[in-house]
Structure 1
């Protein structure tokens, strides 16, 4: 489900004879029939009997949904559940891997019943016959910070849930270890009633038309989730003795990361979520009152970083001092005037960069 920056690689095709698939897309084609028999239908592009629409009508493939290529590395893909028509996401992972073990532990009945559990629910587990892969079925979600936040209350609700979710994982001795914006999701059902395209989430159907949404505060509460446990670690012995080594390419500012000196991954989690919070705050001038929460979580000395419950209390204390009017007052993202105007005038915005989030 991780959505990295994406360029429309289907435009690389120069001849009708070239394969229209890229990288791991071929795996989904090869397993289309098995997935269909398991009760899930992938988009037409991945049907093993698919004939590209543009080869029939001889128009530009950009005019057809099945001309939209997925990522070069595609461990997750959207699908329709046949028994109820719900849109879901299937994620492929090694059957014997740590990611599967942790994901199933977090979705076990005992842990799922805890309201603080903000990890993505696993609705079905499908071992892929004759292979070393397993498919996990999860609800379809979108990145938590897109569309933009409307008001302080929406930001607070998201951060409350993520801090509760981090406390929950830590209470069960699980370090996520990859808390980045692309691994923080929200249920889009009420926010984007028309739905979105998995590859181009700023569009409803994959084409460049106005994208419409509702304010989270008007239709909430909204469920927020952690996804992607590919780097996660479980320490049954507890947090105090937990340690690991290694650097993270996407988190160069975390001071304790080292290839040789052990450090506590639970402290890294706190820094990572603080960094996410800081980046959101920097994008919205109205959120400056919450800057200290993020700064404390990003303390250079890991021993001085608060536990998630303390950061949650600090966040709630700041929010409690704001009036309902301030909490629900509209705020604007830096350099977001054009999007604000197009939404006010036309009910949505035109996605000038549809291939990225």
Structure 2
């Protein structure tokens, strides 16, 4: 969704032209350079790399650092409509997203942000902090959201942490479906957690398995020791609102990455609410596969992933099944440490004695 906007002349341009190719600004980054002055005027500051006056920090007098050790050299992944920023009034870390002003996504987030809906504790859709037109191109609007991190990293310490997260996601799905919203893209990349208690040092937007984007130790506190931890759904770019109810809701079309969902079709309509159930069930099964200690939740995931959509439980029924499993677990089983399948000895040692992992390859997140 790149807008055709010019990038202003800047004093650092000549310096940047002689930079190593791997740390020069890409075209998609130059789009964000063009947004910088407008967002700054609205009280949001992008990272130094996207300041039109950016001069790479390692080229400044007295600096002898290699570019790879400087945050403003980082380009790992970037989309032309999503980036992190700092809210200048309180230095809070946020995410800004540019969407078409007439988009269904903007309608849905406004609908879910209604004061009555926001007050429902089951509303696990990401809060919207600010919405404003991009005055240079009014056909687009900026949304501002709190910075979140992927819900399944750091790894779960115990069954109780998984139970807390999954109950919030099931209740969140129940809330969306009661309000006739089909998310249509439920997956770990769109399931977030608020990190301030779990990762006090914070994480980097381009690589949330690091604190500042560098190869380093990644420190955290176990969720069960600092809870409660809030969890949220993000990214309503594929979502649908059916004001008349979800019983007869139908949609059509296949989507990249959803090949495992049996009913998807380019010709035969299907119910997107049943797809939501399937997708959340796949997340449950993926976690069961990752953590052998969660095997008692496999029947729930399999039920949610029934091949026949009508055999899948509603969110209410899935919650009942989920609570039935949880009620059968003793306090000691809920609190017992569990490990990921394939955890190496170094992972267990560093996690047990140091409370950290060495930074691992990043994964992409969409808001």
State the TM-score, normalized to the length of structure 1: 0.92
* Cα deviation 1:175-200 (Å, max 9, x = unaligned): 00000110000000100011011111
User: Separation in 1 of the partners of 2:111 and 2:245?
Assistant: 16
Q: Cα distance, 1:316 vs. partner?
A: 0.9
* Residue in structure 1 matched with residue 357 of structure 2 by the alignment: 349
Q: Secondary structure at the match of 2:268?
A: strand
Q: Secondary structure at the match of 2:279?
A: helix
User: Separation in 1 of the partners of 2:265 and 2:30?
Assistant: 37
* Residue in structure 1 matched with residue 69 of structure 2 by the alignment: 63
| 304 and 64 in structure 1: CA distance in 2 versus 1, 3 angstrom threshold | same
Choose from 52, 56, 78 the match for 1:52. 56
Q: Cα distance, 1:54 vs. partner?
A: 3.4
In the alignment, is the contact (CA less than 8 A) between 1:23 and 1:73 conserved in 2? no
User: Separation in 2 of the partners of 1:58 and 1:84?
Assistant: 32
Q: Secondary structure at the match of 1:259?
A: coil
- Structure 1 residue ranges (4+ consecutive) displaced by more than 4 angstroms after TM superposition: 354-357
- Is 1:94–2:97 an aligned residue pair? no
State how 1:222-233 maps to structure 2 within 5 Å.
222-233=229-240
* Cα deviation 1:211-234 (Å, max 9, x = unaligned): 100111111111000000000001
User: Separation in 2 of the partners of 1:180 and 1:49?
Assistant: 38
Q: Cα distance, 1:79 vs. partner?
A: 1.1
In the alignment, is the contact (CA less than 8 A) between 1:123 and 1:137 conserved in 2? yes
In the alignment, is the contact (CA less than 8 A) between 2:171 and 2:315 conserved in 1? yes
| 90 and 223 in structure 1: CA distance in 2 versus 1, 3 angstrom threshold | same
State the TM-score, normalized to the length of structure 2: 0.90
In the alignment, is the contact (CA less than 8 A) between 2:77 and 2:364 conserved in 1? no
* Residue in structure 2 matched with residue 119 of structure 1 by the alignment: 125
User: Separation in 1 of the partners of 2:231 and 2:280?
Assistant: 14
Q: Secondary structure at the match of 2:132?
A: strand
- Is 1:236–2:240 an aligned residue pair? no
* Residue in structure 1 matched with residue 43 of structure 2 by the alignment: 39
* Residue in structure 1 matched with residue 156 of structure 2 by the alignment: 149
* Residue in structure 1 matched with residue 34 of structure 2 by the alignment: 30
* Cα deviation 1:131-150 (Å, max 9, x = unaligned): 12211111111000001000
Aligned residues: 345
Choose from 155, 167, 182 the match for 2:174. 167
- Is 1:294–2:301 an aligned residue pair? yes
Q: Cα distance, 1:70 vs. partner?
A: 4.9
* Cα deviation 1:21-43 (Å, max 9, x = unaligned): 22432221101111111111111
| 236 and 356 in structure 1: CA distance in 2 versus 1, 3 angstrom threshold | closer
Gaps of 5+ in 1: 1-12
User: Separation in 2 of the partners of 1:23 and 1:93?
Assistant: 19
User: Separation in 2 of the partners of 1:234 and 1:353?
Assistant: 36
* Residue in structure 2 matched with residue 281 of structure 1 by the alignment: 288
- Is 1:218–2:225 an aligned residue pair? yes
Q: Secondary structure at the match of 2:357?
A: coil
RMSD after superposition: 1.8
Q: Cα distance, 1:55 vs. partner?
A: 3.7
State how 1:315-334 maps to structure 2 within 5 Å.
315-334=322-341
| 305 and 14 in structure 1: CA distance in 2 versus 1, 3 angstrom threshold | farther
- Is 1:195–2:175 an aligned residue pair? no
In the alignment, is the contact (CA less than 8 A) between 2:221 and 2:355 conserved in 1? no
* Cα deviation 1:237-275 (Å, max 9, x = unaligned): 111221111112111111000000000000000000000
Choose from 147, 151, 157 the match for 1:140. 147
* Residue in structure 2 matched with residue 306 of structure 1 by the alignment: 313
| 219 and 45 in structure 1: CA distance in 2 versus 1, 3 angstrom threshold | same
* Cα deviation 1:3-38 (Å, max 9, x = unaligned): xxxxxxxxxx99538682224322211011111111
User: Separation in 2 of the partners of 1:304 and 1:218?
Assistant: 38
- Is 1:272–2:275 an aligned residue pair? no
User: Separation in 2 of the partners of 1:270 and 1:314?
Assistant: 13
* Cα deviation 1:59-98 (Å, max 9, x = unaligned): 5321210000152424211111111111111111111111
